[in-house]
Structure 1
Amino acid sequence: MFAFEKRYLVCVLPFIGFAIGAFLDRKETERMVLFRDKSALYARPDGSMPKTPSW
């Protein structure tokens, strides 16, 4: 029925890898957005003017 040739895999496999990588990158970005403005590293010192969150 379906004959998988080496040329077919060489052409299609990079596109599949790119799609999986792009998907995982988007998911990681969505996960990291949850921590935006909550990190102690970027916290404002006490006594400064309150600032609304960037989102």
Structure 2
Amino acid sequence: MANILQLVRDHWAVSLVPLGFLVGWYFDRRNDEKLALYRNKSKLFERPLKPGEDVTWR
């Protein structure tokens, strides 16, 4: 148990970088979903889609 605590204490920054990336990725996806819902309801972004185009942005 002491070895695990020492390992975490020595290398905490190595675990924070991937964790920060995953949290940022999650919030970015949530924000994209909110914007997509707004886009689908907005008259500002309404336009005819080209053949084969399913959304105006991803």
TM-score range, shorter chain: 0.5 to 0.7
Match of 1:48 in 2: none
Match of 2:12 in 1: 9
TM-score normalised by length of structure 2: 0.59
Structure 2 unaligned runs (5+)? none
Q: State the SS of the aligned residue for 1:36.
A: helix
Instruction: Compute the displacement of 1:10 (Å).
Output: 1.3
Q: Distance in 1 between matches of 2:42 and 2:20?
A: 33
Match of 2:31 in 1: 28
Instruction: Compute the displacement of 1:34 (Å).
Output: 0.6
- CA RMSD, 1 decimal: 2.2
Point out 4+ residue stretches in structure 1 off by more than 2 angstroms.
37-44
Structure with greater helix percent? 2
> Which letter does structure 1 place at the counterpart of 2:31?
E
Structure 1 unaligned runs (5+)? 45-50
Larger radius of gyration: 1
Q: State the SS of the aligned residue for 2:38.
A: coil
Q: Distance in 2 between matches of 1:30 and 1:38?
A: 13
Number of residue pairs matched?
47
